[in-house]
Amino acid sequence: MDYPQDFVWSSAGRGTAFVAEINKLIDELPALKQDAVKAELDHLASLANNAVLVSAEQVCPTMGIDLEGLEGVQDVLLMLALDYPQAFERVAVQASLNRRTGGKNWSAFQFDDDGKAWALDDEAARAAFVADAIEILNLPVHRKREADWYRAVRVHAITGEETELVQATIYVEDRAASELTFGASEGLERQVFQRVLEVGIACNPAERVVEICAAGGKKVRDEYAQAFSKHFAPGSEPPVEAPRREVLLNTLRSQPDFSVEPADGVERVEVSSLDFFSTGGGFARFEKRGDGETIYQFLDRRLAQVSPIKAGGWQIVSATLRIVMAPQDSKRRRTLTVTLRAPNTTTIPNKTEVDRQLVLQLLERWNLIAPPAPEPDVIEDG
């Protein structure tokens, strides 16, 4: 498609010289080609929003694609579509994954911080994981499949800290569908086309969290998590599902009243560490070391009014709680450790489902996590 080099770029809005030139070029194409071009332009327009721009900022730097100097999301999308088609598709998939994070087709799984590295770059492990994914989908082995592995950068909403994720999108040929269309004979025909299923995986080795975005319900996502554990972290304990809930760390700006009931079986609760972020860009971390005083007493004794709890310009961005369980049935006391990170990360003790539910109940009671949001009805673009 040839186009002139002397558009009136300063024009704006419908009916301007620039738009007229574009429409003129499209009108000169054959009818079927016009439809194809307009369909592509409609697709670009559907992606032109701030969420997609954020996704481009997550994906493009790890691929060596510089977005500096580009003017807005439309400029970014057009550049990617023309020069980096693979990056363009990754950005679209990333936007879909970001939009569904925390929704009904998404789950996050927390591994123990046991110091054992994940084999995320092992090609054999990747191939075995994709093979298991096909089995989980319960589709015939002859169905076409493709897995796109790539790296993305997630930026912390408060601190601006960057975390590199390893992500994968698994595409699988789904069962065929059909629709009416006008065929070569110009009459109505029923056309059969092959649909594509997508499964999204986001791995955060720093926080030992794996996020899985896939339809099919909790049971299916549990199976994906088990397959991930088997192939990429065989030496670690299997993960537990962790909720994506907003954490309410301002509750910890003063010594909380950790109310417990006899049925909880909790002996005591303590804040063992607090992490602070300054509006000027500074970080501070305080940990409780002795049994003689709480972390709040220590900060008051040593820092008084300049403590980040009392001084202005500091936010709590992370906190760790130690929940000491009373000994029961001749068993020794044990400790459940949970870390809360702003804005919405909660580590859950990698123990039993009973422990997990107890911790969630306690965090809600202590006003440290927000109630679960109602499930939105999300309709994905076909």
Q: What's the rounded mean pLDDT across residues 23-45? A: 83
Per-residue pLDDT at 24:
80
Report the alpha-carbon distance of residue 89 to residue 44 in Å, rounded: 11
Model confidence at 12: pLDDT above 70: no
Report the alpha-carbon distance of residue 2 to residue 28 in Å, rounded: 11
Tell me which amino acid residue 82 is.
Answer: L
Residues in the chain: 382
Model confidence at 8: pLDDT above 80: no
Specify the residue for token string 């303590």.
270
Yes or no: say if 49 and 91 are a contact pair by the CB < 8 Å rule: no
Report the alpha-carbon distance of residue 103 to residue 379 in Å, rounded: 12
Average pLDDT of the chain to the nearest whole number: 86
Kindly indicate the confidence band of residue 381, based on its pLDDT and cuts at 50, 70 and 90: very low
Q: What's the rounded mean pLDDT across residues 247-268? A: 93
Per-residue pLDDT at 88:
93
Q: What's the rounded mean pLDDT across residues 40-45? A: 86
| pLDDT tens for each residue of 52-82 | 999 999 999 999 999 998 888 988 998 999 8
Q: What's the rounded mean pLDDT across residues 272-285? A: 91
Angle, helix 123-137 to helix 218-232, in steps of 10 degrees: 160
Retrieve residue 201's tokens.
């995986």
Yes or no: say if 203 and 166 are a contact pair by the CB < 8 Å rule: yes
Q: What's the rounded mean pLDDT across residues 260-288? A: 92
Report the alpha-carbon distance of residue 274 to residue 287 in Å, rounded: 7
Report the alpha-carbon distance of residue 132 to residue 141 in Å, rounded: 11
Retrieve residue 317's tokens.
């961005």
Kindly indicate the confidence band of residue 351, based on its pLDDT and cuts at 50, 70 and 90: low
Retrieve residue 87's tokens.
């990056």
Kindly indicate the confidence band of residue 25, based on its pLDDT and cuts at 50, 70 and 90: confident
The phi and psi torsions of 126 (rounded to 5 degrees) equal -60, -45
Model confidence at 273: pLDDT above 50: yes
Alpha-carbon torsion 166, 66, 50, 146, what sign? negative
Report the alpha-carbon distance of residue 346 to residue 364 in Å, rounded: 12
Per-residue pLDDT at 128:
95
Model confidence at 111: pLDDT above 50: yes
Tell me the C-alpha to C-alpha distance, in Å, between residue 133 and each of 43, 85, 198, 221, 233.
Answer: 29, 26, 11, 10, 16
Rg (CA), the chain: 26
For residue 376, the 8-state DSSP code is P
Per-residue pLDDT at 3:
52
Per-residue pLDDT at 27:
81
Model confidence at 116: pLDDT above 80: yes
Burial class (CB in 10 A: 0-12, 13-18, 19+), 63: middle
Instruction: List the Cα angle 173/229/333 in 5-degree steps.
Output: 145
Weakest mean pLDDT among 38-42, 269-273, 310-314: 38-42
- Among 73, 65, 290, residue whose Cα is nearest residue 298: 290
| pLDDT tens for each residue of 124-165 | 999 999 989 888 988 777 888 889 999 999 988 888 888 999
Yes or no: say if 91 and 56 are a contact pair by the CB < 8 Å rule: yes
DSSP helix, strand, coil percent of the chain (3-state; round to 5): 35, 25, 40
- Among 285, 257, 259, residue whose Cα is nearest residue 273: 285
Retrieve residue 345's tokens.
């990360």
CA atoms within a 13 Å half-sphere pointing along the CA-CB vector of 29: 16
pTM of the model: 0.76
Per-residue pLDDT at 373:
64
Q: What's the rounded mean pLDDT across residues 3-11? A: 53
Yes or no: say if 370 and 246 are a contact pair by the CB < 8 Å rule: yes
Weakest mean pLDDT among 6-15, 119-128, 294-303: 6-15
Per-residue pLDDT at 382:
37
Tell me the C-alpha to C-alpha distance, in Å, between residue 188 and each of 11, 163, 182, 247, 377.
Answer: 42, 52, 5, 56, 34
Per-residue pLDDT at 194:
76
Per-residue pLDDT at 15:
47
User: Bigger pLDDT: 10 or 110?
Assistant: 110
- Under the phi-then-psi rule, with left for phi > 0, alpha for psi from -120 to 50, and beta for the rest, what region is 148? beta
Per-residue pLDDT at 378:
42
Q: What's the rounded mean pLDDT across residues 305-312? A: 91
Per-residue pLDDT at 32:
77
Per-residue pLDDT at 144:
84
